[in-house]
């Protein structure tokens, strides 16, 4: 990859993030989390998120440039997430990146947040992006994708209702845990018995690569009034096991069906320790190669946006300034 220096910005939801890439090397990555702010309301209020991006973005960019040891004048291209996400949040990052690109007379790149997650497991690997079956599990999306090469993706399946992370967050809320539910359910599940409650594994045996998690959430809700001797850790562990079982089984089946022997896990839910453990064991048993990014690259960050921007630049791609945000942007058209 050429030694182009890119400043990437990510403001699609509730993290204000910036990163500097030089070629395929990450020079710095900063994330200002809004989690404490949204914990007060038990979820993200779009208006609050966008106002906070506005306040946080400038200092985050300044810190990121300083950590990379570069000045704004050293940046060769400016990239930002253009979707999917919250409109009022996406607007902040893209406006700043476009403004900087115009002021510095440098190219702009509009980046798909989902492509950022999708390719993050390849970041820092010697081979770069390779053919694989990819599972993207975040707060907003649950996708199974066949990667043929950079920019060539085939959607195999997706959730029909709630995303996996959304299910974790809603169940966390039902159980009275702080926002976001995912990491808290994961932490409490460590002391629980995953076999204690036999929660439904929706669509486990369906003849497709789609998912459904809303029935599972409902099952937890109906169980709550009659918990009896079932402890909170047992509920967390049993719920988590049901989610993980379906994600692992369908991904393995997709690997079999496509013949792809590399599995790439990404998105916030891929931080889940039980998910990683089960995927590691299943991949080892079948001789598959498992790629999963370090946790800081799994949740929302700008390094993954910078990585896609660097790949696009290496392929001679930039975006016109007329590219608008798209809150419903898809990975595959
Ligand atoms: O990728 P991400 O940071 O943002 C989106 O693009 O949505 O994912 C956030 C999601 C949240 O639903 C959060 O609860 C979930 O990832 N998450 C986890 C864990 N860490 C984050 N879910 C389960 N176990 C975890 N350890
Ligand atoms: Zn995300």
Query: Which parts of the chain have pLDDT scores under 50?
Result: none
If asked whether residues 107 and 250 sit together in one domain, one would say no
Nearest CA to ligand 1 atom 22: 182
Q: What is the structure's pLDDT at 2?
A: 59
- 3-22 in b/e burial notation, b at 16+ Cβ within 10 A? ebbbbbbbbbbbbbbbbbbb
If asked whether residues 200 and 51 sit together in one domain, one would say no
Burial tier of 128 (Cβ tally within 10 Å: 0-12, 13-18, 19+): middle
Residue 326 within a domain:
no
pTM of the model: 0.96
If asked whether residues 154 and 258 sit together in one domain, one would say yes
Q: Which residue has the tokens 């702010």?
A: 37
Nearest CA to ligand 1 atom 10: 139
Range of the domain at 309: 5-118+298-314
Question: Does the C-beta of 272 come closer than 6 Å to ligand 1?
Answer: yes
Q: Are 76 and 106 contacting, i.e. CB atoms less than 8 angstroms apart?
A: yes
Question: Does the C-beta of 116 come closer than 6 Å to ligand 1?
Answer: no
Residue 322 within a domain:
no
Residues in the 5 Å CB sphere of ion ligand 2: 138, 300
Nearest CA to ligand 1 atom 13: 182
| Residue of 182, 184, 190, 298 to test ligand 1 pocket, by largest number of atoms within 8 Å of CB | 182
If asked whether residues 150 and 253 sit together in one domain, one would say yes
Q: How far is CA 46 from the centre of its chain?
A: 18
CATH number of the structural domain spanning residue 215:
3.30.420.40
Q: What is the structure's pLDDT at 229?
A: 83
Please tell me the total count of domains within the chain: 2
CA of 297 to the centre of ligand 2 (A): 10
If asked whether residues 180 and 52 sit together in one domain, one would say no
Cβ count near 317 (within 10 Å): 12
Nearest CA to ligand 1 atom 20: 183
| Residue of 15, 114, 138, 243 to test ligand 1 pocket, by largest number of atoms within 8 Å of CB | 138
If asked whether residues 113 and 162 sit together in one domain, one would say no
Residue 321 within a domain:
no
Atom number in ligand 1 closest to CA 172: 14
Residue 320 within a domain:
no
CA of 300 to the centre of ligand 1 (A): 9
If asked whether residues 208 and 240 sit together in one domain, one would say yes
Residue 209 within a domain:
yes
Q: What is the structure's pLDDT at 97?
A: 98
If asked whether residues 164 and 62 sit together in one domain, one would say no
Atom number in ligand 1 closest to CA 165: 12
Residue 306 within a domain:
yes
Q: What is the CA radius of gyration of the chain?
A: 20
Counting Cα atoms < 13 Å in the Cβ hemisphere of 316 gives: 0
Residue 111 within a domain:
yes
If asked whether residues 154 and 100 sit together in one domain, one would say no
Question: Does the C-beta of 162 come closer than 6 Å to ligand 1?
Answer: no
Give the ligand with the smallest distance to the CA of 138. Answer: 1
Question: Does the C-beta of 93 come closer than 6 Å to ligand 1?
Answer: no
Q: What is the structure's pLDDT at 1?
A: 56
If asked whether residues 85 and 163 sit together in one domain, one would say no
Give the ligand with the smallest distance to the CA of 163. Answer: 1
Q: What is the structure's pLDDT at 53?
A: 95
Give the ligand with the smallest distance to the CA of 183. Answer: 1
pLDDT single digits (tens) 103-149: 999 999 999 999 999 999 999 999 999 999 999 999 999 999 999 99
Q: What is the structure's pLDDT at 314?
A: 95
Question: Does the C-beta of 83 come closer than 6 Å to ligand 1?
Answer: no
CA of 302 to the centre of ligand 2 (A): 10
Q: What is the structure's pLDDT at 193?
A: 97
If asked whether residues 152 and 228 sit together in one domain, one would say yes
If asked whether residues 137 and 106 sit together in one domain, one would say no
Residue 330 within a domain:
no
Q: What is the structure's pLDDT at 35?
A: 86
């Amino acid at each position: 990859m050429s030694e182009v220096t890119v400043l990437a910005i990510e403001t699609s939801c509730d993290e204000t993030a910036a990163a500097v890439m030089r070629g395929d090397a990450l020079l710095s990555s900063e994330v200002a989390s809004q989690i404490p702010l949204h914990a007060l309301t038990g979820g993200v209020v779009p208006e609050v998120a966008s106002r906070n991006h506005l306040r946080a973005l400038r200092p985050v960019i300044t810190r990121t440039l300083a950590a990379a040891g570069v000045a704004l004048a050293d940046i060769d291209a400016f990239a930002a997430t253009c979707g999917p996400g919250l409109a009022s949040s996406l607007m902040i990052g893209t406006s700043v990146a476009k403004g900087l690109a115009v002021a510095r007379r440098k190219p702009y790149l509009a980046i798909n947040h989902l492509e950022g997650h999708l390719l993050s497991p390849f970041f820092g690997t010697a081979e770069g992006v390779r053919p694989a079956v990819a599972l993207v599990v975040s707060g907003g999306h649950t996708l199974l994708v066949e990667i043929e090469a950079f920019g060539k993706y085939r959607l195999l399946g997706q959730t029909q209702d709630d995303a996996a992370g959304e299910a974790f967050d809603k169940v966390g809320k039902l159980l009275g845990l702080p926002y976001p539910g995912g990491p808290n359910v994961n932490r409490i599940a460590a002391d629980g018995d995953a076999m204690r409650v036999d929660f439904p594994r929706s669509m486990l045996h369906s003849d497709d690569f789609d998912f459904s998690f809303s029935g599972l959430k409902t099952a937890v809700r109906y169980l709550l009034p009659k918990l009896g001797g079932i402890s909170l850790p047992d509920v967390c562990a049993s719920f988590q096991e049901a989610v993980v079982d379906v994600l692992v089984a369908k991904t393995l089946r997709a690997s079999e069906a496509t013949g792809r022997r590399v599995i790439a896990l990404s998105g916030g839910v891929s931080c889940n320790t039980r998910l990683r453990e089960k995927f590691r064991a299943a991949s080892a048993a079948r001789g598959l190669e498992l790629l999963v990014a370090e946790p800081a690259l799994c949740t929302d960050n700008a390094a993954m946006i910078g990585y896609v921007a660097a790949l696009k630049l290496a392929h001679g791609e930039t975006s016109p300034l007329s590219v608008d945000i798209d809150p419903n942007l898809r990975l595959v058209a």
